[in-house]
Amino acid sequence: MNLFEAARGCLDAATPGEKVAATFAAADAFERGDLEIPGDAPAPEPIRMPGRPERPLLVHPRNLPKRGLGTSEGRAAFVHAIAHIEFNAIDLAWDAVYRFRGLPHEFHADWVGVARDEARHFELLRTRLQQLGHDYGDFDAHNGLWEMAEKTAHDGLARMALVPRVLEARGLDVTPGMIVKLRSMGDEATVAILEVILREEVAHVAAGSRWFRWYCERAGVEPRTTFRALLAEYARAVLYGPFNVEARAAAGFDEDELAALSQYAN
């Protein structure tokens, strides 16, 4: 099995347990040097829905009920929403590995590492959800992350600009506030998980920044104007402020890009 085949296997895994186990096994094999990156691999198959469990039911974001953190169900729904993001993030990382080819070894190493981190985050959150009397799939969710993957399947530059640096980076903006709220409620168990995720997601978004600029250099385009154009074309409906300027700067955003985010934010 080569790396592309292993990535496809992780994408196809349908249950949470299977996807996490396949991710850890593939990441370990890649780290050992057991998965080659063939230079003559056929083109990737057109993007489609990855393997997923029957639940959660995927609905439009506006059909998701708003719950406060003051009830046990509301807190469980919040943890479930973050777990769903992390579950999708496993597939997004593996799709980057699988779909974009002819790239430096470091590109694949970065996104294999991200996939491993996302699987670990999902496991932490699922365990916490079970401690709260629920499990992954108990609440409805939406498909926004994967929809953006479909829109950017044709172009690695657009994928790097919009998935890690727009959608996934949203966590950098909202997580600190959620940590403060949960800590005020005495939920240190969930806080500890969110602090791990926040710290490691900075590195994940930074990988998106790094490879976005690499793609821009290869294409001979200016990164700032290209980022603004992609935001205008794809991201107007999914950008929300305020932005965590400090975390985003650590993740590779410059002042012009932060200004562009504010310009197009809802």
pLDDT in tens, 16-62: 999 999 999 999 999 999 999 998 888 999 998 999 999 999 998 88
Q: What is the model's pLDDT at position 238?
A: 87
Q: What is the model's pLDDT at position 48?
A: 87
Query: Each residue of 201-234: pLDDT tens digit?
Result: 999 999 999 999 999 999 999 999 999 999 999 9
Distance CA 67, CA 24 (A): 33
Distance CA 127, CA 130 (A): 5
- What pTM was estimated for this model as a whole? 0.96
Q: Are 227 and 260 in contact (CB under 8 A)?
A: yes
Distance CA 220, CA 218 (A): 6
Give, to the nearest 10 degrees, the angle between helix 170-184 and helix 72-99.
160
Q: What is the model's pLDDT at position 68?
A: 84
Query: Each residue of 148-206: pLDDT tens digit?
Result: 999 999 999 999 999 999 999 999 999 999 999 999 999 999 999 999 999 999 999 99
Give every CB contact of residue 241 below 8 A, 6+ residues apart in sequence: 173, 261, 262, 265, 266
List the helix and strand counts (H, then E) for the chain: 11, 0
Closest CA to 204 of 263, 150, 247: 247
Distance CA 254, CA 206 (A): 12
